A and B are shown apart, each in its own frame.
Chain A
Amino acid sequence: MQQETVAFNFKPKKFVVWLFVVSSTIMFGGWTSYYLVFMASKGKGHGLVLPEVFTYSTGVLVLSSVCLFMAARALKNGDIGKQRMLLWLTFVLGIVFGVLQFQGWVGLYQTGAVLVNNNAAISMIYVVSGFHLLHILAGLAFVMASLIGSYKNVSPEVAAYRQDITSIFWHFIDILWIYLYVFLLLNS
């Protein structure tokens, strides 16, 4: 009986994560709309060639999403060991992504495109990528929660629930970065 109540509570909680995804999308939507209106009224964007390292970081993030997808599949097949290994891989790739983003900022900084800038479009690159990185940190926490769950041998329902919300969130921040990167590439 107890387990049924617990299982019943998962659906609304998963929905909470989806709603968070929606509101977060809108926050970034606010910034990109700022960018578009700014560009339309000033007649200029950031005007930069974005550091190449952002391409690599995008690749790394996509790869991490693939790993996470395979981790979810492994869990479904009952292969906990494989799931654990793929979750670790996702985690490491997430950290690599963060490091690459830092390198991207350093690259920008070295070309003179600093945060405190009279071109707000350049400042915006830092704001959106910075806040995206904060989301990555939150995503890493989700991945960690799944990992801890797999080591502590939580019930299959809880493990599936943790894996599910990790997937929702991580794939979201993956797509979010692709959106932001493409947006910044197109609106230079």
Chain B
Amino acid sequence: MSTISLHDTHHDDHGHGHHHETFLTKYVFSQDHKMIAKQFLITGIIMAVIAMLLSILFRIQLAWPDKSFPLLETFLGKWAEGGRIKPDFFLALVTIHGTIMVFFVLTAGLSGTFSNLLIPLQIGARDMASPFLNMLSYWFFLTACLVMMGSFFTQTGPASAGWTIYPPLSAVPKAMPGSQIGMTLWLISMVLFVASSLMGGINYVSTILNMRTKGMDLWKMPLTIWALFLTAVLGILSFPVLVAGVVLLVFDRSFGTSFYLSDLVFGTQILPNEGGSPILWQHLFWFLGHPEVYIVIMPALGISSEIISVNARKPIFGYHAMVYSLMGITILSFIVWGHHMFVTGMNPLLGGVFMITTLIIAVPSAVKTFNYLATLWRGNIRFTPAMLFAIGLVSFFISGGLTGIFLGNASLDINLHDTYFVVAHFHLVMGSAAIFGMLAGVYHWFPKMFGRMMNPKLAYLHFWVTFICAYLVFFPLHFLGLDGVPRRYYAFTEFEFMNKWLTVNVFVTWSAIVAALAQVAFLFNFFYSIFRGKKAPQNPWDANTLEWTTPVEHLHGNWPGEIPTVYRWPYDYSKPGAEKDFIPQTVPFSQTMSSNLPHDFEGNEEAERIQKEWEAKNKPVQE
């Protein structure tokens, strides 16, 4: 298949591959970025399944608050006495669902997997800047997951203050059962997680800036790399602030300081803490928290840029605009955190500033959306599973993004704040969209990861059921929110005005259950194909990027012999005059004289002259 011939070299200049690998160093404490990517992915998938099951549990409670399900008691014991989920456990479920999804699945599972897999492969490097730190990054992540899951096995249950763990609820251990040991474990887990993210992110940035192969200048990098790069930058700049906030929270909880606490009366007892402010937690948290949602979505956007271009057989529309809009989102994401805090009594002037910066983010986001659509427009589209999921991402990004304009508006937010409208908004725009980006990436790069193909029929089933059900789950929630139904409420039967939404909740829960069942198709497909899937060719999607020039069988160091040199950008699809509808990055312009365009030479006069001479000789003059 491959039309690429690597220059044979007489010396084997990569120092790897000679040392003996044991099971432990190859599969467990691996320092090979490809293995670490698989570790991140499989851990991420397991965490996603857990978080999905948690969501089904609380959806059951929301749909049938008065009904008893004895089976629940069998599995959950005292958390569901009499077959009904307890209020405390309900809060724990929504908290841990959110935490797992945002941090463990869509940050580590998405960014961790694809940064590890694609950065060295797509920029042409043997491995990461520091493979050891990279390995540590995974083990910190896994430990964070285990600590978080461990909180389910404590007497008082997991953290329950919501994934944003606002004090004073999170800062006063006796405030509720979930604020006791569960909260402590949450904080420990999160510190480990941040350490993992930083080790990963620092590695990714250093690798991209220092270890690109010959010819791979920044403007020849695939958009996946741009997205993963800017995501890592965001992480490096924002996660430390979460640590700063968490440390102060730990001091408040465990040592009795008053960073976030003041004027609290507990029953008849006045708490000694004085002078702190819970709003300051919100500032520190959302200074991370808002960039975090872009940490979640940007890799997904990068992945779908690549997949849409490959499968539309067209160059990505507006490559530079795509990069600049990613940069715009990166910068703007640091000055919008206040839009999470419009109702904290913020100075209206400040609210206005945050509103304007927030609405400006619509510009780069819209640029990206229109570029996706323009890339699809009149493309020679191949509806591979990855392509369907990438298009699904665009759909969710649009429908969820539109409601962002409502929520970013300070005056509208007063009504919509903390309602199901917010839940609907972010589940579409960063939840579903990012998950679809991740799944698109899994389907697209599965052959690269495991050397085998996934079954497309099961993938189509998986896509359509998930896509439709995701809309059926999240779309109706907008209307609950517009009616003022607050999020995280345990039983809709307790409030007169919420009663009418019970039937909608039943519908949403059934949709969620069907969506969850559809994931079985994915899980079976994924794990079955690892062992029994059809053997993958070297370049199954006829793509241009460097990772498809590596052999199907993985080897430590990625390329046998020299690392290929890069001559062109990664999006030469369906170039007029070319023999095939794709020209890999490793093909020099001297081999594609019939398709070269003047701007390909970037002002290199010598090359332009040679091209002109060739054209005068070979090309028939156009009439």
1/0 per residue A96-134: CB within 8 Å of B? 000000000000000000011111100110010001000
A26 at the interface (CB under 8 A from B): yes
Pairwise interchain contact B14-A26, C-beta atoms closer than 8 A: no
A185 part of interface (Cβ distance < 8 Å) = no
Decide: A19 near B244, CB < 8 A? Known: A13-B129, A120-B275: no
A81 within 8 A of B: no
A: residues with CB less than 8 A from B are 1-2, 5-6, 9, 11-13, 15-16, 19-20, 22-24, 26-31, 33-34, 37-38, 41-42, 115-120, 123-124, 127, 131
Q: Are B13 and A30 in contact (CB under 8 A)?
A: no
Identity of the chain B residue whose Cβ is nearest the Cβ of A131 in the assembled complex? B247
Judge if B343 is at the interface, Cβ distance under 8 Å. Answer: no
Q: When the two chains form their complex, are residues A27 and B244 in contact, meaning their CB atoms are under 8 A apart?
A: yes
CB pairs A–B below 8 angstroms (27 shown): A6-B15, A12-B129, A12-B130, A15-B129, A15-B209, A15-B210, A16-B129, A16-B206, A23-B198, A23-B202, A23-B239, A26-B236, A27-B240, A30-B240, A30-B243, A30-B287, A33-B284, A34-B248, A34-B259, A42-B275, A42-B277, A117-B257, A117-B258, A123-B251, A123-B259, A127-B251, A131-B247
Does chain A have a CB within 8 A of B107?
Answer: no
- Residues of B contacting A23 in the complex (Cβ-Cβ under 8 angstroms): 198, 202, 236-237, 239-240
Give the nearest-CB partner of A123 in chain B: B257
Which residue from chain B places its CB closest to the CB of A12 in the assembled complex?
Answer: B129
Contacts of A118 in B (CB 8 A): 258, 272-275
In the complex, chain B residues 243-295 whose Cβ is within 8 Å of any chain A Cβ: 243-245, 247-248, 251, 255-259, 272-277, 280, 283-284, 287
Closest chain A CB from B344 CB (angstroms): 12
Q: Is B207 engaged at the interface, CB distance under 8 Å to the other chain?
A: yes
- Decide if B550 is an interface residue (CB 8 Å cutoff): no
List A contacts of B283 (CB < 8 A).
33-34, 37
- What per-residue 1/0 map shows which CB atoms of B205-238 lie under 8 Å from chain A? 1110111000000000000000000000000111
User: Is the C-beta of B133 less than 8 angstroms from some C-beta in chain A?
Assistant: yes
CB-based contact B280/A37 at 8 Å: yes
Known: A5-B14, A26-B241. A123 touches B258 (CB 8 A): yes
Describe B's contact surface by its main secondary structure: helix
Give the shortest distance, in Å, between A136 (CB) and chain B (any CB).
17
How far in angstroms is the closest Cβ of chain A from B253?
Answer: 12
Please give 4 more A-B residue pairs, beta carbons under 8 A apart, in addition to A19-B201, A27-B244, A28-B244: A16-B130, A19-B206, A29-B241, A120-B275
| B11: Cβ under 8 A from any A Cβ | yes
Give the interface centre of A28, A30, A42, A116 by most chain B CB atoms within 10 Å: A30
A176 to B595, CA, bound (A): 56
A13, B209: Cα distance in complex, Å: 11
Assess the A34–B203 pair: CB atoms within 8 A: no
Residues of B close to A127: CB separation below 8 A = 247-248, 251
A15–B275 Cα gap in the complex (Å)?
A: 41
Rounded to whole angstroms, the CA-CA distance of A123 and B248 in the bound complex is 9
Task: Kindly state the separation between the CA atoms of A38 and B279 in the bound complex, as whole angstroms.
Answer: 10
In the complex, which residues of chain B have a beta carbon less than 8 angstroms from the beta carbon of A131? Answer: 247
* Interface contact tally, CB-CB below 8 A: 113
> When the two chains form their complex, are residues A34 and B13 in contact, meaning their CB atoms are under 8 A apart?
no
A16–B257 CB distance below 8 A: no
Q: Write the nearest CB–CB distance from B488 to chain A, whole angstroms.
A: 27
Q: A26-B240, A120-B259, A127-B248 are in contact. Are A15 and B206 (CB under 8 A)?
A: yes
Taking a contact as CB atoms under 8 Å apart, the answer to whether B236 and A116 are in contact is no
Query: Are B244's CB and A22's CB within 8 A?
Result: no
Give the residue among A9, A28, A131 with the most B Cβ atoms within 10 A: A9
Given A2, A12, A31, A37, which contacts B207 in the complex, CB threshold below 8 Å? Answer: A12
Q: Which 4 A-B pairs have the closest CB atoms?
A: A30-B244, A12-B129, A27-B240, A12-B210
The reply to whether B202 and A13 contact each other, CB–CB distance below 8 Å, is no
Would you call A19 and B202 a contact (CB within 8 A)?
yes
Contacts of B245 in A (CB 8 A): 30
Which listed residue (A12, A119, A124) contacts B211, Cβ 8 A? A12
Residues of A within 8 A of B255 (CB): 115-116
What's the nearest-Cβ distance from chain B to residue A44, in Å? 9
Question: Are B259 and A19 within 8 A (Cβ)?
Answer: no
Contact in complex: B13, A1 (CB < 8 Å): yes
Task: Give Cα A38 to B244, complex, Å.
Answer: 15
A11, B210: Cβ atoms closer than 8 Å: yes
A15-B238 Cα distance, complex, nearest whole Å: 19
Residues of B within 8 A of A9 (CB): 129
Contact A5 B13 (CB under 8 A): yes
State A63–B391 Cα separation when bound (angstroms).
60
Instruction: Write out the residue numbers on chain A whose beta carbons fall within 8 Å of the beta carbon of B239.
Output: 23
Residues of A within 8 A of B236 (CB): 19, 22-23, 26
**Is the Cβ of A13 less than 8 Å from the Cβ of B130?**
yes
Residues of B near A2 (CB, < 8 A) are 15
Which partner residue on chain A sits nearest B281 by CB separation? A34
Closest CB-CB distance, B264 to chain A, in whole Å?
12
The docked-state distance in angstroms from the alpha carbon of A30 to that of B289 is 13
Chain B residues with CB under 8 A of A11: 210
In Å, the complex CA distance between A119 and B133 comes to 39
Residues of B within 8 A of A120 (CB): 257-259, 275-276
A27 and B243 contact, Cβ closer than 8 Å, known pairs A2-B15, A16-B129:
yes
Q: Which among A15, A27, A115 is the interface contact of B257 at CB below 8 angstroms?
A: A115
Interface bits B1-21 vs A (CB < 8 Å: 1, else 0):
000000000010111000000
Q: CA–CA, A19 to B208, complex, Å?
A: 13
Q: Tell me the smallest distance from the CB of A6 to a CB of chain B, in Å.
A: 8
**Cα(A107)–Cα(B540), bound, Å:** 69
- A37 vs B245: C-alpha distance when bound (angstroms): 13
A135 CB to nearest chain B CB (Å): 13
The interface residues of chain B lying within 8 Å CB-to-CB of A5 are 13-15
Cα A123 to Cα B280 with chains together (Å): 15
Q: List the B side residues contacting A38 at CB < 8 Å.
A: 277, 280
Contact across chains for B248 and A26 when beta carbons are under 8 A apart: no
A2, B130: Cα distance in complex, Å: 17
Residue interface mask B103-130, A partner, CB < 8 A = 1: 0000000000000000000000000011
Residues from chain A with a CB closer than 8 A to the CB of B256 are: 116
Restricting to B78-136, which residues have a CB under 8 Å from any CB of A? Answer: 129-130, 133
Contact of B202 among A20, A26, A41 (CB under 8 A): A20
B274 — which chain A residues lie within 8 A by C-beta?
Answer: 118
CB neighbours of A33 from chain B (8 A): 283-284
A45 to chain B, nearest CB (A): 12
Distance of A24 from chain B, by nearest CB (Å): 7
Are A16 and B275 closer than 8 Å at their CB atoms?
no
- CB neighbours (8 Å) of B203 from chain A are 16
Residues of A within 8 A of B244 (CB): 27-31, 34
The CA of A124 and the CA of B251, in the complex, are separated in Å by: 10
Cα(A1)–Cα(B16), bound, Å: 12
Q: In the complex, A15→B129 CA distance in Å?
A: 9
Residues of the A chain whose Cβ atoms lie less than 8 Å from the Cβ of B273 = 118
Q: Which of B579-599 contact A (CB under 8 A)?
A: none
